[in-house]
Amino acid sequence: SAEGGTVNECTGASTKRFRGVCTLKTGRSRYRAQICHSSRTWALGDYCTAEEAAAVYDRAAICKLGLLKAVRNSSLNFPAHHYLQQAAFLEAAV
């Protein structure tokens, strides 16, 4: 980390399309997924597309809130049925 911040910090501006996604200051298109929980912001990783970062945010929101509460709070970027299909697939694999 250099003084004054690192090149991988978010610009402070979240993307307008997706909740929990911000653009990184890298000079190229990179996106960070992040979620607030217990008064802290947790970085969930850096991704090449905003859509990838938004899907990671959604999964974290489901883990934090549970699927029904995440849907009721309008906390997801994508329709809940997408995650229900993934959950069914994972349960069948176990």
Chain segment 35-70, per-residue pLDDT in tens: 987 888 999 999 999 999 999 999 999 888 887 888
> 21-88: which CATH topology?
GCC-box Binding Domain (3.30.730)
| Paired strand residues for 20 | none
Quickly state the pLDDT bin for 18 (edges 50, 70, 90).
Answer: very high
Residue 21, CA distances (Å) to 3, 11, 42, 77, 85 in order: 24, 11, 12, 10, 23
pLDDT for the residue numbered 5: 36
The structure's pTM equals 0.74
pLDDT of 82 > 90? The answer is: no
Query: With 50 as the cut, is the pLDDT of residue 89 above it?
Result: yes
The CA angle 57-61-67, to the nearest 5 degrees, is 130
Residue spans per domain, the chain: 21-88
